[in-house]
Structure 1
């Protein structure tokens, strides 16, 4: 047991060491349990030891521990995020697939413009069109998914488009840019992915695109409005509209002189870095030849050698070359010369393949020369060589189907035909477009017949009215 004297000494020692905290002391003095002189902004004791003097009512401490996630209902979202939160799981998946997988296939540009995802979040008719084309392509890509979902989406999307058109006809107002994007999506959906099915109606969607563009003021007016993604899709529509008339006859929607305007903003092709030739100018010359061919058929003009010679000069195949100023620019501005050279070669190869294909069209469709004529055959193998020289992986290969179809239909040897088949299969394995399979079927049909006895339009009649080739 403790003695009374020891307990007395313990109580005395405790009372002596205890320091009462002055009311209003800083937090540093409170923690060290010393007397604070209440000097502000910093007391004497904190100044002497270099401590932080804090007179706040509450002590604020920063913690390194991870905080719990905030519930989505309390998060502050921008408009796009708020709209995305309202989508179903299937719609979110379709948008992600469209943006990451399908949209890059629509362009050869190294840095394509942004897809119309934000507009799709604001206009459901566009959202349905994008989800439709994404779900349909996923079926072709995987080969396991059911067609039931795209079929339901197709019916819903067509109904939404009709409702928008009825609303516009009734009030004269409506989201015409988004509606144009929606019908463009339907056009490419049927022309690229659905062309082998009975439900395809590519020509109807093509007429719908033309009608909406007319309502917006025509091709010239459309090129001055809308986001970049619209211009990119319009450039692809103009290209496929031109190739359709090139293979089946008729007149393209856009005039030959508009192609320079088209190239001033976003387009589906990558511009040739060395600026020796433009794919837009090639399309302009092809359009002029199509118009010239129709004028001859209608009796408005006659076949004149000087016109043929002018087309030959305009479509002389171009080649990418290195120039000293390009090397200097790469040293001064830090450009990647190797990457720039590959980009220039691929872009030039794409342009050159279209130039050869256009000259084959000139000699076969306009001049009426047979398949085996030397003027025709002199462009067949160079066209295929331009395509086969494009190194993989390259987005340029996704858009050489038309030159490959035209040149492939005119090859003579079995060895060259096998090379064409390998190139077609390689492209199909990359993009999984049903239109590429139909191109393979057309080539096989032409090779089984005597191609020298077939006219230009007879060669491609089995392509069908709903197939879009680029």
Structure 2
């Protein structure tokens, strides 16, 4: 009996695999074999062949198109990976170290590859200030490719590695649509990404071992996601994914805020925020009234944290760093007080307690203790406190802070952030009754669904 002929191609193979006579896995938009060698993957029914820059077949037959392409269009996966590691990740990490990343390993994961390319290209486009239409088209294509790859794998069978990749890709899509991109372009996408990320964490269990593994990139991505989810929950009235007690599990792990102990002031403040967000969810969606003793207990806890923080430079080694960290924690702590007064207690914008918390926070923001890197990571407090600033001197400080941060971060969403602040200030100056007496949820509903800030 004659041997069965060996099948070297499959129906629907890309042109690259057909030429090389290898089995294509049919992954779109780029199969694994083409991805591994950096080859352009093409599934078109008709392949163009060029003679002297003229197409001989297909819809472009007879048209002369230059063979040369500008370098900006010759997008290289390695370039995007390096940009992601060296330019983008440091903007999401306030420690002095960048997470250890195996770029070769990441480049073999098509789910992560597409998402990394999308966020890297989008950020590089905005950071460069280029108005090149080709770059804009490439940015949109990269985002669409990342979404297609994510959704395709979302609907397929999953193992633990795939779930981890899907979760990290989901975080990158949150960053893309909620921070890097203009909020007006994908206004509903951010909320859906956050909801989807919580679904992955709750039901698939793909990242259940991240805290135990202490791997740097997954921990960094998890810390970014849970912070975005928490601040989003505070603004929109959702329940946060992470319970208050779980924030201590970030102790001694490389999160975006650096490595701190489980009893650090920042983790305690984030746990308090988680409690506040859960109470806020009940207030908004169940018409709950928070008992006065609960409010007083939270307020006393915040005041206790403040009294235990260092106040002056005592000249000991590391004193300046401790003061800077205390100032960073204080900004978030005062913001928690504002939420307690406005969202849970229902106090108006011009109430003395609200304005006292705003003034105290502004003193820290305008002070000299916050380092530049720490200053870039107080966007959520700037939004909450900034919109309530009644005095022009305070607004000048906010504007200056946003401008300085915008230069470093190059996040397109900061433009929407600044426009939102200016609109609110105009209403406050006009003494608009709707704004002065508005509740927390109505006050932020214009920006809450589309923006991730921390």
The answer, yes or no, to whether TM exceeds 0.5 is yes
Choose 440-449 or 111-120, whichever is displaced more: 111-120
Contact 1:195 1:202 in 2 (8 A): no
The 5 Å alignment of 1:442-457 reads 442-450=420-428, 451-457=435-441
- C-alpha change, 1:314 and 1:198, in structure 2 (3 Å) is same
Shift of 1:168: 1.8
1:40-91 deviation per Cα after TM superposition (whole angstroms, max 9, x unaligned) = xxxxxxxxxxxxxxxxxxxxxxxxxxxxxxxxxxxxxxxxxxx998347521
Q: Describe the superposition over 1:244-285 as per-residue Cα deviations: whole angstroms up to 9, x where unpaired.
A: 111111211121221111334221113569x98421110111
The residue that corresponds to 1:86 in the other structure is: 37
Match of 2:294 among 307, 323, 336: 307
Other-structure match for 2:255? 267
Higher alpha-carbon Rg: 1
1:160 maps to what in 2? Answer: 149
Partner of 1:350: 328
Q: Does 1:236 align with 2:214?
A: no
Counterpart of 1:138 in structure 2 is 124
CA contact (8 A) 1:116 1:229 kept: no
When residues 426 and 128 of structure 1 are mapped into structure 2, their CA distance, relative to the original with a 3 A threshold, is same
Deviation at 1:298, TM superposition (A): 5.4
Q: Provide closer, same or farther for how the CA distance between residues 101 and 299 of structure 1 changes in structure 2, counting only shifts above 3 A.
A: closer
Q: What residue number does 2:197 align with?
A: 209
Residue pair 1:276, 1:320 contacting (<8 A) in 2 also: no
Which string of whole-angstrom CA distances, capped at 9 and with x for unpartnered residues, describes residues 16-50 of structure 1?
Answer: xxxxxxxxxxxxxxxxxxxxxxxxxxxxxxxxxxx
State whether structure 2 residue 86 is matched by structure 1 residue 100.
yes
- Stretch moving more, 286-295 or 160-169: 160-169
Aligned-pair distance for 1:149?
A: 1.2
Runs of 4+ residues over 6 Å off in structure 1: none
- Indicate the residue corresponding to 1:397 in structure 2: 375
Aligned length: 374
**1:180-233 deviation digits (Å, cap 9, x = unpaired):** 211211111111012424345112222221222234438754433573211111
Contact 1:272–1:278 at 8 Å: present in 2 too? Answer: no
| Equivalent residue, structure 1, for 2:431 | none
Q: Distance in 1 between matches of 2:271 and 2:232?
A: 15
* 2:310 corresponds to: 320
The partner residue of 1:458 within 442, 450, 453 is 442
Query: Over residues 409-456 of structure 1, what are the superposed CA-to-partner deviations in whole Å (9 max), with x where a residue is unaligned?
Result: 111112221221111111111101122222111111111113423322
Once residues 243 and 288 of structure 2 are traced to their aligned partners in structure 1, the CA distance between those partners, rounded to angstroms, is 18
Q: Please give the alpha-carbon distance, in whole angstroms, between the structure 2 residues aligned to 1:464 and 1:295.
A: 18
Q: Unpaired segments of 5 or more residues in structure 1? A: 1-82, 328-336
RMSD: 2.8
Q: In structure 2, which of residues 139, 149, 158 is the aligned counterpart of residue 150 of structure 1?
A: 139
Distance of aligned partners of 1:112 and 1:342 in 2 relative to their CA distance in 1, 3 Å threshold: farther
CA contact (8 A) 1:102 1:137 kept: yes
How do 1:31-430 and structure 2 match up within 5 A?
Answer: 86-87=37-38, 90-115=76-101, 117-144=103-130, 145=132, 146-168=135-157, 175-199=162-186, 201-217=189-205, 221-225=209-213, 227-271=215-259, 277-297=264-284, 302-316=289-303, 317=306, 319-321=309-311, 327=316, 337=317, 340-389=318-367, 394-430=372-408
- Normalising by the residue count of structure 1, what TM-score does the alignment of the two structures yield? 0.73
- State the secondary structure of the residue aligned to 2:446: helix
> Is residue 328–residue 370 contact of structure 2 (8 Å, CA) maintained in 1?
no
How much has 1:296 moved relative to structure 2?
4.1
- C-alpha change, 1:254 and 1:148, in structure 2 (3 Å) is same
TM-score (norm 2): 0.75
TM-fit CA distance, 1:116 = 5.8
Whole-Å Cα distance in 2 between the matches of residues 204 and 423 of structure 1? 30
CA distance in 2, matches of 1:267, 1:229: 9
Contact preservation (8 Å) 2:114, 2:142: yes
Distance 1:432 1:393 in 2: 18
